[in-house]
Amino acid sequence: MIHAKVARRLPLSKLHISKRLKWVCNHIPYGDKWMAVLFRDDKKWNLDEPDGNIKYWHNLRKQPGSFFSRQSGGGSVMVWAAFCFNGQVDLAILGGRQNSPKYTETQENHLMP
């Protein structure tokens, strides 16, 4: 069973908002050049528990109990996706550890067609 956790982000500051607006205004006249731009991202999910710091609480008047510690990992799934002016690229489910040759292979198999 896979559990999803919603990540909450802090609201943008006035400085960040003004910088984003400036960036957009500078790129509106980009015109046909947008046809050559690709937006892509990848994401890894651990199958046993989330990455990062795990927060917990305990009664300070008692000894803390023992907590699970990842020893050899519980496996993970990595996905890669992209979109551009002409539409989206098929979602790629990546297997094993990703290194430069494997990432190049992903680009060739999913992006280039």
pLDDT in tens, 19-48: 999 998 998 888 888 888 888 888 887 776
Residues with Cβ < 8 Å from 85, sequence gap 6 or more? 34, 35, 36, 37
Amino acid at 62: K
**Does 3 have pLDDT greater than 90?**
no
- Please choose, from the candidates 83, 87, 80, 77, the residue with its C-alpha nearest in 3D space to the C-alpha of residue 103: 80
Which pLDDT value is given to residue 4?
A: 52
**pTM here?**
0.52
What does the alpha-carbon distance between residue 39 and residue 80 come to, in Å, rounded to a whole number?
11
CATH of 2-111 given 3.40.50.720, 3.30.420.10, 3.40.605.10, 3.40.50.300: 3.30.420.10
**Does 74 have pLDDT greater than 80?**
no
Which pLDDT value is given to residue 21?
A: 93
Reported residue count of the chain is: 113
